[in-house]
Amino acid sequence: MTTKQLNKLTMYLAVEGICDATTAIWQTVQAFADAYTDLKTRVTNIQTFSQSQAQNTTGVAQDKKAARQAMCALALPIASAVHAYAVKTKNNTLAASVDFSMADLIEGRDVASRDNCQNIYNTANTNIANLANYGVTAAKLTALNNAIAAFNLLISAPRDTRAKGKTVTTNLQAEFDAADEDLGVMDDLLGQMTDAKFVSDYNNARIIVDTAASHASPTPPTPPPATPHP
């Protein structure tokens, strides 16, 4: 939520406070009552969207990074074991297909990292019968396969979160626009109210205060020019 929107929401809440305390004064004017009911709905929606908008992608990105590290940590020892078996059996093609360092797996694009780990799994799984003496077990392959699946689910998570954030921002502005329309109706009908105090309190509540400016440090006074010595 922008500072301008936050200031406007504060004004909405102030209007709510006045109207909620004086229902007997305005509830007989049906159009005013209808607009106010809708305003309250808009304010609730704004607060809900604001909470959703506050969510950031930091946690999602950290989860993805951790999942990638876990996947690669499982894949590298298996790749090394398959490489050792390939060298022992003089299978150069097999050796080249699993010749990875940790940097090869952990750096670069997410999809490339996933695909390399998937290829390691597939190659080891194909040769599982020959890898027992090299420390590769079915349980280790299952753990790697599960880690690949977990990372794959998170690959697009930060982008998805940002996309959802853009949608929330659009919806949030639409709610502000609708709330302003409701207030416009209420403003037009204020002349139907006979209670002077309510009218005054309502008008005061409708003033938008710039909270950022009100909390800013005051500008220090300019010191007077120095008096030259004779």
pLDDT tens figures, 15-71:
999 999 999 999 999 999 999 999 999 999 998 887 766 555 556 778 889 999 999
% residues pLDDT > 90 (the chain): 68
- The pLDDT score that the predictor gives to residue 217 is 45
What does 97-151 look like in DSSP terms, one character per residue?
A: HT---HHHHHSS-HHHHHHHHHHHHHHHHHTGGG-GGGT--HHHHHHHHHHHHHH
pTM attached to this predicted model: 0.50
3-state secondary structure of 3: helix
Each residue of 167-196: pLDDT tens digit? 667 888 899 999 999 999 999 999 999 999
